Amino acid sequence: MNRTKVSHFKDFFKLEKNFDFNTLAFLLDRKENDNYYSPNGKIKLRNFDIFHEGKFFSNFVKDLLLDKNFNKIDADIHASMSKIGFSENHQDEESVFLFPLVGSVIYNVYDETNFTSYYMSVGDLLIIPKHIIHAAIPLCPRIVVSVGVFD
C-alpha cells in the first residue's frame, strides 16, 4: 500500500471482536499516566501498540506496506465521547493509517488550494502521508486507531 498519497478505502477491515468505550476505559485505566484529555472532550491513548489489540493494528499496517523502508511504527487511539471532540488542523511527522472502531468521523484533508472530505465509518481505512494538513470532525462519539509510520 502506498503511503505517499492520500487514499481512502471503504469497508477495508472487519473487527474480530467488539471494541467499545468499555474496552477503551479499561485500556486508559491500565495506562493512566500516558493519556491525554483535552477540554473539548478529546482523548488520546498513546502507545496503544503495547497492548495486544494495538499490536494487531501495527502489524496489519506493516503487512500492507509495499515500501518496507521505515524506522518505526506506533499506534495511538483518538476518541471523543461527543461530536465536539474535533481535532485542530495539523500535520504529522509520520504517515498515518486511520481505522475507525466506533462511530463515524469526517476527515478534511487539505492541499494548497482546496480540501477533500472523507466520511469514515467502522471498517474503513484512510491513509494520510506525512506533512499533509488534516483535521478530524466527529459526527458522534468515536474511537479511531491511528498507526504512524515514521521514515
Please indicate, yes or no, whether the overall pTM of this predicted structure exceeds 0.75: yes
Query: Which residues on adjacent β-strands are paired with residue 128?
Result: 96
Distance CA 84, CA 78 (A): 13
Report all structural domains of the chain as residue ranges with CATH numbers, in order of start. 7-150 (2.60.120.650)
pLDDT for 42-85, tens place per residue?
Answer: 999 999 999 999 999 999 999 999 778 899 999 999 999 888 88
**Side-chain half-sphere exposure of 107, counting CA atoms within 13 A:** 26
